Amino acid sequence: MTTRAEKDALYALDISGAQWQAAPGSDPENRFEIALLPNGAVALRDPNAPDDRDLRYTATEWEAYCKGAADGEFDKDLSTTR
């Protein structure tokens, strides 16, 4: 489990020089971008909402999300929003 101190440290990082990337071929008007951070952490942002704060995930959190997506854990949630 991620501790409050780990999250605080993650949000304290200066990521102003981060290299943001989106999925190849994604619609520029409707996509999110990620930036790889130190120690396997990831930042996530909506490039069309520059005033919104980015979200940051520790390596453990990001790995859990990716595994859940690969296993279809969110498929039911996605089918209700289409």
In the chain, the largest separation of any two C-alpha atoms, in whole Å, equals 37
Question: Over the stretch 3-36, which tens digit does the pLDDT of each residue have?
Answer: 999 999 999 999 999 999 999 999 999 999 999 9
Residue showing tokens 């990001």? 62
Q: How far apart are CA 70 and CA 52, in angstroms?
A: 28
**DSSP of 15-72, one letter per residue?**
-TT--EE--TT--TTS--EEEE-GGG-EEEE-TT-TTSPPEEE-HHHHHHHHHHHHTT
**pTM summary value:** 0.82
Tally the domains of the chain.
1
Residue 19's nearest CA partner among 40, 43, 1 is: 43
Give the pLDDT band (50/70/90) at residue 80: low
Range of the domain at 31: 4-79
